[in-house]
Amino acid sequence: MEKEQFYYDNKIVKLFLIATIVWAIVGMTVGLMVALLFLYPNYMEGISWLSFGRLRPLHTNAVIFAFVGNGFFVGMYYSMQRLLKTRMFSDTLSKIHFWGWQLIIVAASITLPLGLTSSKEYAELEWPIDIAITLIWVIMGINMIGTMIKRRQRHIYVAIWFYIATFVTIAVLHIFNNLEVPVSAFKSYSVYAGVQDALVQWWYGHNAVAFFLTTPMLGIMYYFVPKAANRPVYSYRLSIIHFWSLIFIYIWAGPHHLLYTALPDWAQNLGTVFSIMLIFPSWGGMINGLLTLRGAWDKVRESAILKFFVVAITAYGMATFEGPMLAFKNVNAIAHYTDWIIAHVHVGALGWNGFIIAGMLYWLAEKLFKTDLYSQKLANVHFLIGTIGILLYTVPLYVAGFMQALMWKEFNPDGTLVYGNFLETVTAVIPMYWMRALGGTLYLTGFIILAYNIYKTAKQGSAVEDELAEAVPLKQISSRRIKGEHWHSWLERRTVLFTILTTVAILIGGLIEIVPLILVKSNVPTISSVKPYTPLELEGRDLYIREGCNNCHSQMIRPFRSEVARYGEYSKVGEFVYDHPFLWGSKRTGPDLHRIGAKYNNNWHFNHFLDPMNTSPMEDKILGTSRNFMPKYTWFFTDNLDYSNIQSKMKGLRSVGVPYSDFEIEQAPYLLQQQALEIEKSLRQDANYVANYGDSHMENKEVVAIIAYLQRLGTDIKKTE
């Protein structure tokens, strides 16, 4: 049969490559900005859109979806065409995918600092952007599957299996975690409440790590590592076993993010055991990558690209061992809510994702621009300071995590807490935060060097936008040739069936965990005294969401003696039935707030928001001053509370099961004003308040709403007694 000539689309690869580098630097810079807020909490004082609670989601979203996302698309568009011996299915779809994705990122960079957020981690974007993501993702999927269908390669290679798993699973996760009722242009409520919302969120959150930060990177590893090392892949059968076991088991492990919370035991323990079973499927990828370098270790000494790959795959192996260890309940009891978790995710993000993408970008720069890399030396410098950066970032935070856990749990012999004031546990770890910021700076510098090096390489080379290739088209295969064919090889010829089987494999775990939790009543015992929020409290809760308070404060007291002594009665699953979305949080930079309601008086909260130093000064031994990590929420005191949507908010919540009556909804603005006036009146018992704010009409400002919400938190349960 005649060979056909065709062209690979290198232009789309180049576009994604530029986007990857740009967003890498943006995302990491925002990361550094938030790291600096731990050192100089007031350096962006009074600027609402640069406060920690709003910037932290921008950092995580930018790094995950903008940097690693674009990095995946670079590798996918380059390798897929070559592995399937065809140009992409449609140049138009490729372009829509590229520009659509960049627009989504730009929309995220605008809306997140504005406080338009659904509060669910790594799924913060509001509903219009969620819809855009779905559309663009499906366009990418059509392009992927179309390319597979018009391929000239009979079988699909393991890298493509991982790309398929990525496409299918992210689509499912994204859609089901973002089911929400829109109540205005940029505001929606999750359809799930409390523990159900928590489980769906961490099914999503955990598997975003699995299928956005792991499977696409494994696909990239399977193409670029054997290419760069010029070695055969170590074991085909290992690829098969670890692929299917990985995608099947991963999806079950989400509940390990909710250990010792109010999630029922049966679900928690499923999270634990599936995490343990995940070690070897994950390591299958690691050893297949590392052993592909068998017989090529001399090249690793020479090549910066291979060094990046080796450290990346090793970091993957470490993070995927550490993850299952963290899924043991007794280890999780120490690590959860502390900086240990921040260290853990950065081993994955900086080591595994960052380095495998860096290695790939250097390798591609030579191929795309048909020239040698501008400077091998600079690439080696990047590798060196990047590696030091990772160590300097993670090691101190591991120490910080242990210190926090030990200090939070330490009792005096007489039964009182040694560190009864939470602030003592915060000041103790400030030195670690300095080292972390330094490590992050080094790592970012490495990527700036990469940007320069690749820019110079592009300048000295010449980009070939359409690269000529040739291959024999597929023809009907004779049955004689496939006699005795291995079953998996048979499957590799059937791309649609392969995609369907992948979908089945990733659906099972989620269905078995989530459906019973939603349908079986006994999983969420009701507490009759738990009632919906009042209109003002609801607006206050939305401010809590807007400011991203959940990024530093949990609302989930675990059933430990130390937590009950510090915060009060541990959290019960029935207390969250009207929480759309749940706000349990995952990190305690500040104390838990579930029982903050009625602990202090309104004046305390007023003064605290005005300047947290008023009520909670904290000694910073390094800079020798007093400080508090929490920003001054100055805008709470100047901005009028906008409650124009309160009725549509309550109607939206009613449609997902919050029992607001017609009367309550109709009277909502009036009820809200009444409660605001009461709070304002109570503030007047402080002469200083009257002197300074007596004429400021605080009943109209945002501060009364957030106070109303905080004073309600965790108090309903006390009414039963």
Partner 1 sequence: MSNNQNLSAWQRFYQRMTKAHELGKEEDIMTDHNYDGIRELDNVLPPWWVWGFVITVLISIFYYVKIFTGDYNQEQEYITEMEQGEKEVAAFIKQDKIDNPDKYANRTTAYTDAENLAKGKDLFTSKTCFACHLNDLGGSIGPNLTDNKWVLGGGFTNVFNTITKGGRPGKGMVAWETSVTKKEREQLTSYIISMQGTTPANPKAPEGDIEWSK
Residues 481-510 that bind partner 1 (CB under 8 A): none
Cα–Cα distance, 453 to 458 (Å, whole number): 9
Min separation Cβ 598 and partner 1, Å: 4
Min separation Cβ 687 and partner 1, Å: 4
Min separation Cβ 177 and partner 1, Å: 25
Closer Cβ to partner 1, 269 or 700, answer by number = 269
Q: Count residues contacting partner 1 (CB under 8 A)?
A: 71
- Output DSSP code: residue 277: H
Instruction: Please state at what angle helix 339-346 crosses helix 376-409, rounded to 10 degrees.
Output: 160
Cα–Cα distance, 536 to 523 (Å, whole number): 30
Q: Which of residues 574-613 bind partner 1 (CB under 8 A)?
A: 598-601, 603-604, 607
Residue 287 found at the interface with partner 1 (CB under 8 A)? yes
Question: Whose structure tokens read 């430990």?
Answer: 560
Residue 92 found at the interface with partner 1 (CB under 8 A)? no
CB-based burial, 600-612: b 16+ in 10 Å, e otherwise: bebbebbbbbbbb
Closer Cβ to partner 1, 169 or 607, answer by number = 607
Stretch that binds partner 1, among 184-192, 272-280, 540-548, 658-666 (CB under 8 A): 272-280
Min separation Cβ 600 and partner 1, Å: 4
Binding residue for partner 1 (CB under 8 A) from 32, 36, 44, 82?
Answer: 82
Cα–Cα distance, 171 to 92 (Å, whole number): 21
Min separation Cβ 206 and partner 1, Å: 17
Closer Cβ to partner 1, 180 or 611, answer by number = 611
Closer Cβ to partner 1, 10 or 239, answer by number = 239
Q: Which of residues 154-173 bind partner 1 (CB under 8 A)?
A: 155, 157
Q: Which of residues 530-559 bind partner 1 (CB under 8 A)?
A: 559
Residue 334 found at the interface with partner 1 (CB under 8 A)? no
Stretch that binds partner 1, among 275-283, 432-440, 534-542, 661-669 (CB under 8 A): 275-283
Residue 183 found at the interface with partner 1 (CB under 8 A)? no
Tell me the CA distances in angstroms from 240 to 20, 148, 288, 294, 310, one per residue in order.
30, 19, 11, 20, 22
Closer Cβ to partner 1, 47 or 482, answer by number = 482
**Would you say 52 and 631 are in contact if contact means Cβ atoms under 8 Å apart?**
yes
Binding residue for partner 1 (CB under 8 A) from 94, 178, 207, 616?
Answer: 616
Residue 674 found at the interface with partner 1 (CB under 8 A)? no
Residue 176 found at the interface with partner 1 (CB under 8 A)? no
Question: Whose structure tokens read 């992050």?
Answer: 440
Min separation Cβ 366 and partner 1, Å: 16
Residues whose CB is less than 8 angstroms from the CB of residue 291 and which lie 6 or more positions away in sequence, other chains included:
234, 235
Closest C-alpha to 679, from 665, 666, 668, 689: 689
3-class DSSP assignment, residue 182: strand
84 HSE (CA, 13 A, CB side) = 29
Angle at Cα 71 formed by Cα 70 and Cα 75, nearest 5°? 115
Q: Which of residues 288-327 bind partner 1 (CB under 8 A)?
A: 291, 294-295
Closer Cβ to partner 1, 280 or 434, answer by number = 280
Min separation Cβ 529 and partner 1, Å: 17
Q: What does the DSSP assignment read for 52-93?
A: HHHHHHHHHHIIIIIIIHHHHHHHHHHHHHHHHTS--S-HHH
**Would you say 373 and 379 are in contact if contact means Cβ atoms under 8 Å apart?**
yes
Closer Cβ to partner 1, 81 or 117, answer by number = 81
Residues in the chain: 721
Q: Which of residues 397-436 bind partner 1 (CB under 8 A)?
A: 411-417, 420-421
Tell me the CA distances in angstroms from 693 to 182, 200, 686, one per residue in order.
36, 44, 10
Min separation Cβ 395 and partner 1, Å: 27
Residue 649 found at the interface with partner 1 (CB under 8 A)? no
The pair of three-digit structure tokens given for residue 374, joined into one six-digit string: 């501008």
The pair of three-digit structure tokens given for residue 420, joined into one six-digit string: 């009864």
Binding residue for partner 1 (CB under 8 A) from 1, 2, 5, 265?
Answer: 265
**What is the x/- site pattern for partner 1, positions 208-247, by CB under 8 A?**
---------------x--xx----xxxxxxxx-x---x--
Q: Which of residues 562-581 bind partner 1 (CB under 8 A)?
A: 564, 570
